[in-house]
Structure 1
Amino acid sequence: MSTRREALKNLLVVAGAAVLPIPALALPSGSFTYCLNMSTLRGHKLGFRKELETASKAGFRSVEIWVDTLQEYVKSGNSVADARRLAGDLGITLENAIGFAPWIVPDAAARAKGVEQLKQEMELLHGAGCRRIATPPAGATTGERLDLYEVADRYHHILELGIQTGVIPQLELWGFSKNLSKLGEVLFVAAQSGLPQARILLDVYHLYKGGSGNATLPLAGTAGIEIFHVNDYPGTIPVDKIGDGDRVYPGDGVAPIKDILRTIRKADHPIVLSLEVFNKTYWAQDALAVAKTGLAKLKAVTPA
């Protein structure tokens, strides 16, 4: 434990350490790649194959899948090798997966089940060719405020699993949560984990919802962020009332997106900008039109 306490003194070193290499992709601005988080099409209920096909037709070359959608694809008679082959045939990289295993919860028995669930999900994702998974504070969004040193120990453990399986857990900030709702908290846990593979997953909306602001984003370091969720929010809803479903296309709200992207941009390797919205208005529209619109909006807010 003392070793990881000392790691806090070197936060920027830990956040800036190297991790697995990024595949070479065409970059829109020299430092970003564009990605579609399948939350954006979640309400269309397309299934794994059609989600990837829609993203590809829209012009995306990267996606964030949802674990349960991949699981349903496999349960329906396909293999993880089929999933990997499908993505390859479409020219799509599976950048990250969205999952909700309760790895963080204080109850030891529940946490053990959550960690086992996460391990199984990592193994599935590895077979499909996806090498990251989001690890938000699922199961700890309400109730007690957790000790961040203990959370760091738990994140250290799942990072070790990630290193073993080849699927690195991205410590995700949720602005509405009782735990890991602020940038300072996820930075602390990432640094205190004591492992250079630690990564944080941030979101335009969640930074706003949690009250973090953007002034301290540079502390994330040169390698602390590999995936960044991009969306926008209206200025007409108070921060304590705004919810996930109120997110809109980038540029359609009041978020300082270009300033945020200028802050996190890095020249040595690209950050994946992933469009993540849960807007029911979009779910009622044609899925391909939504994906095409989302890509155009992402490009429009990317600073030159």
Structure 2
Amino acid sequence: MKLAFNGATTIRASLAEDIVCAKRAGFEMLEIWKSKLFDMIKNGGVETVKRLFEQNVLKPVTINSIEQATFSSREEKLDECEKLCELANMLNVEAIVVVPGFVRGRLDEATIVKESVEVLKQMASIARRFNVKLGFEFLGFSDCSVNTLTLAWKIVEQVGEDNVGLIVDTCHFFAGGSKLESLEQIDASKIIIVHVNDLPKLEGVKDSDRLMPGDGILPLRDFFKTLKKIGYSGPVSVELFNERYWQLSACEVAKEAFEKLKVFV
């Protein structure tokens, strides 16, 4: 497995800091936080970003993310997809993270699947023009339209495009009630990246509750055993939204993230 670092973990740092600190810590890959990317492009252009990745011999693996991709303004989201895919192609980024929409009230599964499949097919057509993949990331919150691995996998299977896969996040996996048995049913080649983090609890989980791998209660060793069982050998990335880490230097956080992630890999 390849070790990666997600820019959300150091949200107040710049993309340049993320690149330098991730490399210094020992990571092979970086997930780009899109607002940081736009800031760096505004100040120095795409070539500056590309050059910094090359100088640090660091692979930009994803751009995070198209949020509320479903059950929202489809034209707006398709435009965003094209913009991000174009940048991904220029920077040799493998995939764009696509996040399903939050909804008010309950929707039946057929409606959720129909909307999700339609949007992902349209985005896949755009992404293919730029030789980019899409990673569909379910969120384990009750008001997210797609909050379990089983439903996300059903959608990706129905999309049936070779450039559309899954992103599995340990926070959302366990907080949403997904089971390791369901992970065993997934085609490992369709997992784009795995986001790794820990939690202090499983009730009323918020993104800000996330902890470094091994600092909480999640059965991460069993999770990684299952990944190996299904033959997954792709990137695993530390992604936190915990404000405590935002107060620290990017290099300090990246170093801790690398040391705690490699215990499981």
Measured at CA, do residues 207 and 267 of structure 1 come closer, stay the same or move farther in structure 2, by a change above 3 Å? closer
CA distance in 2, matches of 1:46, 1:151: 33
Which sections of structure 2, spanning at least 5 residues, go unmatched? none
* Cα contact 2:66–2:80 (8 A) shared by 1: no
Give, in angstroms, the shift of residue 111 of structure 1: 0.8
Q: How does 1:51-90 map to 2 (within 5 A)?
A: 51-76=18-43, 78-90=44-56
Which sections of structure 1, spanning at least 5 residues, go unmatched? 1-31
The structure number with the bigger radius of gyration is: 1
Match of 1:200 among 134, 153, 166: 166
Match of 1:233 in 2: 199
* Cα contact 1:39–1:277 (8 A) shared by 2: yes
Q: Over aligned residues, Cα RMSD in angstroms?
A: 1.8
Counterpart check, 1:117 vs 2:84? no
CA distance in 1, matches of 2:39, 2:204: 34
TM-score by length of 1: 0.81
Match of 1:41 in 2: 10
* Cα contact 2:62–2:95 (8 A) shared by 1: yes
Measured at CA, do residues 202 and 267 of structure 1 come closer, stay the same or move farther in structure 2, by a change above 3 Å? closer
* Cα contact 1:101–1:118 (8 A) shared by 2: no
Match of 1:157 among 90, 102, 122: 122
CA distance in 1, matches of 2:67, 2:241: 20
- Could you list the structure 1 runs, at least 4 aligned residues long, displaced by more than 4 angstroms after superposition: 266-269
Cα shift readout 1:92-126 (whole Å, capped 9, x = no counterpart): 00011101344312x5xx11111111111111121
SS, match of residue 40 in structure 2: helix
* Cα contact 1:102–1:115 (8 A) shared by 2: no
Work out the number of aligned pairs and report it: 261
* Cα contact 2:70–2:115 (8 A) shared by 1: no
Which one has more relative contact order, counting CA pairs under 8 Å at least 6 apart?
1
Cα shift readout 1:187-214 (whole Å, capped 9, x = no counterpart): 1110001223320001111011211122
SS, match of residue 135 in structure 2: strand
